[in-house]
Amino acid sequence: MSAITADKVLDIAQRLVQTRGYNGFSYRDIAEEIGIKSASIHYHFPSKADLGVALVSRYREAFAEELQDILTRNAEAPKRLKCFVALFRATLRDDRLCLCGMLGAEMGGLPAPVNNEVSGFFILCEAWLIDVLKQGRKAEEIAFRGNPQAVADQFLSLLEGAMVVARAMNDTDRFDRAANAFLRVLRTPDQD
């Protein structure tokens, strides 16, 4: 299988996980979409666990690049946080959930290597948020009570949960309202 086909397998697997879940698809589903035999997929991804690890690793790396881009393009914490929200919102717009949010809900039924990759995604997001929150507080661009770790945990959990509820209710405005309410809490008095 060529590298192009391997990427295509990952693209289709990502869409299927984000819409159906890890256990909601098989190699046969992917093979039928591409027009190859299921056995061809096993060349690059001998097991579904191997596919899952590659999928989450690729997703995390792409997300890390997006986070770096946000830092490069935006100097102030409020804008950085809005851009962070926009990453999740863009996924929801395509009627998908965050790949790792979907997998996180299935962790009890996933292979350990996939779980480790999923945890790595959330660690990445929380570390990024903590840094943005610390810098924003120091620059007096945002204000919040408590420590940045707790606020980062709450914010990430809110976004992931809001995606699930918005999709379940077929109402993306729910996500927007939840995210915007949290962002308003972080504003300094002179930003109102």
- DSSP for 91-142 reads HHHTT---HHHHHHHTGGGS-HHHHHHHHHHHHHHHHHHHHHHHHHHHTTSB
Residue 192: pLDDT over 80: no
What's the whole-number average pLDDT of the chain?
A: 95
Tens digits of residue pLDDT in 23-35: 999 999 999 999 9
Residue 1: pLDDT over 90: no
User: Is the pTM higher than 0.85?
Assistant: yes
Torsion sign, CA atoms 76, 78, 84, 90: negative
pLDDT band at 99; cut points 50, 70, 90? very high
With beta carbons less than 8 A apart as the criterion, state whether 20 and 11 touch: no
Tens digits of residue pLDDT in 111-169: 999 999 999 999 999 999 999 999 999 999 999 999 999 999 999 999 999 999 999 99
**pLDDT in the model for residue 93:** 86
Segment 52-58 shows an average pLDDT of 98
Q: Where are the domains of the chain?
A: 56-191
Alpha carbon distance 140, 84 (integer Å) = 19
Residue 189: pLDDT over 70: no
With beta carbons less than 8 A apart as the criterion, state whether 20 and 80 touch: no
**pLDDT in the model for residue 114:** 98
Alpha carbon distance 63, 139 (integer Å) = 26
Of residues 81 and 3, which shows the higher confidence score?
81
Pull the structure tokens for residue 32: 């039928």
Superfamily of domain 56-191: Tetracycline Repressor, domain 2 (1.10.357.10)
| Owner of token pair 């997998």 | 103
Alpha carbon distance 176, 49 (integer Å) = 34
Q: Is 100 exposed, middle or buried (0-12, 13-18, 19+ CB in 10 A)?
A: buried
Of residues 38 and 178, which shows the higher confidence score?
178
Alpha carbon distance 157, 177 (integer Å) = 15
**pLDDT in the model for residue 100:** 98
